[in-house]
Amino acid sequence: MGSNPQRLHVMFFPFMAHGHMIPTLDMAKRFSSRGAKSTILTTPLNSKILQKHIDTFKNLNPSLEIEIQVLDFPCVQLGLPEGCENADFLTSNNNADREDMILKFFLSTRYFKDQLEKLLETMQPDCLIADMFFPWATQAAEKFNVPRLVFHGFGYFPLCFAYCIKLHKPQKRVASSCEPFVIPDLPGNIVMTREQISDSDEGTEMGKFMLEVKESEAKSSGVVVNSFYELEPDYADFYKSVVAKRAWHIGPLSVVNRGLGEKAERGKKASVDEVECIKWLDSKEPNSVVYISFGSVANFKNEQLIEIAAGLEASGKNFIWVVRKNKGDNEEWLPEGMEERTKGRGMIIRGWAPQVLILDHQATGGFVTHCGWNSLLEGVAAGVPMVTWPVGAEQFYNEKLVTQVLRTGVTVGAKRQVKGLEDYISREKVVEAVREMLDGEEAEDRRRRAKKLGEKANAAVEEGGSSFDDLNIFIEEFSS
């Protein structure tokens, strides 16, 4: 145990991508709020992103302990571009060699191993919660008798889904890539197609890396999950009894952010003034605004953005649309005059949106999402129905949770992992999905279910809730 024998000391080590850093910081805050000391390891540029938020948190809670340890990451020496300390750097552009660079970025993180070992030795934390993408962390922690926990960043459903796919390979038994099949063993008769599956070929470098990830997870002390029991009870049970040795669910993590400042400062600096944004939302009817965002990684081509723009315009609905562009970038993706024509009912945010702030506002009536796990859970916690528009990775699995299990969303009809022009969703489909989400009797049913789930999400982290209790169990176990 660290310096104070009463206080649990948890070391957190997030992968350097917003979808991993944001929930890790929320998790560190949650542990600190329950009396633990939290230390987050990250690189110089990422530490700046986290520090501002930590300062806000500490101002609100001066007695709580949370700090950053900065690690060296010499990008150029590692064969990466200068300043490439976050996946954001690589995914902002559609570079031809992007895939190679992303793999290099993943593999470069091995450079942290010696630094991690030194910190484990000197700081002697009670446990290390390290990202799934740091498979070498299990061995490093073992050296110093520190239990290593894995954080994937996503929930039980996609974890069980991936497990069943790996084990049974049902995609190999269908005649075509678009033939539907049921995932064997997975509760709920979930239907899928081969072209929606994300499974790296074991012969590729990425495939070998993912194998390492699996092996290190099997040797770890367990898994910490950003979820809550009531969201996915069958999958929580399946995961704990069949897939993993130990798992603790302590989410939804995003709801640890209560005030306007905390909600607005997650991840990068928002490209819109949060007060202006709230004022704009305040001027709209409850449940009347569609929020549309594809997370921090997905990057559509201009042709697709034009379809989204035209669809939002034709829908006649209020909207806030986040586009991963910077102010000053060329605007070939925006139909001429569209912003003028939708003035007053539409807001386009170029860059980064204060997502949770927008989702939690009563005017927000639906969320068009790429189904990244954080976004999905933030939508659930806000109690809003969704249009599901998965793009890649495990997002197609998450979509099935929303549309087939929770029944709080409708699909836009994305058929496969986005690779080329043929995958485009037309403006007509955008209009149809948005209207289906907001209007009509079935929409009301979905909204009711979503609201109920949102209440359960918030109750889960309150005293006596399922996630509150699981965190207690975790703290007790690793404090002793």
Token readout for 207 is 């495939």
**DSSP E strands: which ranges in 219-279?**
222-225, 247-249
Q: What DSSP character marks residue 254?
A: G
- Confirm or reject binding of residue 18 to ligand UDP (CB under 6 A): yes
Task: State the binding string over 204-223 for ligand UDP (x if CB under 6 A, else -).
Answer: --------------------
Q: What span, in angstroms and rounded, lies between the C-alpha atoms of 260 and 279?
A: 13
Minimum CB separation of residue 379 from ligand UDP in Å reads 9
Among 14, 155, 295, 385, binds ligand UDP (CB under 6 A): 295
Q: Is the Cβ of residue 21 or residue 120 nearer to ligand UDP in the bound state?
A: 21
Task: State the binding string over 258-277 for ligand UDP (x if CB under 6 A, else -).
Answer: --------xx----------
Contact assessment for residue 318 and residue 288, using Cβ atoms and an 8 Å cutoff: yes
End-to-end CA separation in angstroms for the chain: 8
Give Cα separations from 47 to 44, 124, 204, 358 (angstroms).
5, 21, 32, 25
Q: Which residues of 429-442 are buried (b: 16+ CB within 10 A; e: fewer)?
A: bbbbbbbbbbeeee
Among 42, 220, 296, 466, binds ligand UDP (CB under 6 A): 296
Backbone dihedral angles phi then psi of residue 308, each to the nearest 5 degrees: -65, -45
For the chain, what is the radius of gyration of the CA atoms? Answer: 22
Q: Is the Cβ of residue 359 or residue 431 nearer to ligand UDP in the bound state?
A: 359
Taking CB under 6 A as the binding criterion, the range among 108-116, 235-243, 370-378, 429-437 that sits at the site for ligand UDP is 370-378
Q: Is the Cβ of residue 295 or residue 383 nearer to ligand UDP in the bound state?
A: 295
Q: Is the Cβ of residue 297 or residue 475 nearer to ligand UDP in the bound state?
A: 297
- Confirm or reject binding of residue 418 to ligand UDP (CB under 6 A): no
Contact assessment for residue 318 and residue 284, using Cβ atoms and an 8 Å cutoff: yes
Minimum CB separation of residue 386 from ligand UDP in Å reads 12
Q: Which residues of 12-47 are buried (b: 16+ CB within 10 A; e: fewer)?
A: bbbbbbbbbbbbbbbbbbbbbeeebbbbbbbbebbb
Among 41, 49, 130, 297, binds ligand UDP (CB under 6 A): 297
- Binding to ligand UDP (CB under 6 A): which residues in 303-362? 322, 352-353, 355-356
- Binding to ligand UDP (CB under 6 A): which residues in 104-163? none
Contact assessment for residue 219 and residue 368, using Cβ atoms and an 8 Å cutoff: no
Contact assessment for residue 128 and residue 149, using Cβ atoms and an 8 Å cutoff: yes
Minimum CB separation of residue 441 from ligand UDP in Å reads 30
Q: Is the Cβ of residue 168 or residue 301 nearer to ligand UDP in the bound state?
A: 301
Active site members: 20, 131
Minimum CB separation of residue 53 from ligand UDP in Å reads 12
Among 19, 155, 170, 252, binds ligand UDP (CB under 6 A): 19
What is the number of other CB atoms lying within 10 angstroms of the CB of residue 310?
17
Q: Is the Cβ of residue 98 or residue 113 nearer to ligand UDP in the bound state?
A: 98
For residue 160, which of 243, 62, 267 has the smallest C-alpha distance? 243
Give Cα separations from 426 to 11, 303, 333 (angstroms).
46, 10, 14
Minimum CB separation of residue 313 from ligand UDP in Å reads 21
Question: Does an H or E element contain 292, and which?
Answer: strand 289-293
- Confirm or reject binding of residue 373 to ligand UDP (CB under 6 A): yes
Q: For residue 133, what are the β-bridge partners?
A: none
Q: Is the Cβ of residue 242 or residue 275 nearer to ligand UDP in the bound state?
A: 275
Taking CB under 6 A as the binding criterion, the range among 17-25, 49-57, 100-108, 207-215 that sits at the site for ligand UDP is 17-25
Question: Does an H or E element contain 191, and which?
Answer: strand 191-192
- Confirm or reject binding of residue 226 to ligand UDP (CB under 6 A): no
Minimum CB separation of residue 235 from ligand UDP in Å reads 18
Among 24, 227, 364, 374, binds ligand UDP (CB under 6 A): 374
Minimum CB separation of residue 270 from ligand UDP in Å reads 7
For residue 362, which of 289, 423, 295 has the smallest C-alpha distance? 289
Q: Is the Cβ of residue 87 or residue 160 nearer to ligand UDP in the bound state?
A: 87
Query: Rounded to the nearest 10 degrees, how much is the dihedral formed by the CA atoms of 47, 206, 196, 366?
Result: 0
Q: Total residues at the site for ligand UDP (CB under 6 A)?
A: 19
Q: What span, in angstroms and rounded, lies between the C-alpha atoms of 273 and 394?
A: 32
- Confirm or reject binding of residue 22 to ligand UDP (CB under 6 A): yes
For residue 12, which of 30, 37, 33, 39 has the smallest C-alpha distance? 39
- Confirm or reject binding of residue 379 to ligand UDP (CB under 6 A): no
Q: Is the Cβ of residue 18 or residue 37 nearer to ligand UDP in the bound state?
A: 18
- Binding to ligand UDP (CB under 6 A): which residues in 33-62? none
**Chain residues in the site for ligand UDP (CB under 6 A):** 18-19, 22, 266-267, 293, 295-297, 322, 352-353, 355-356, 372-375, 378
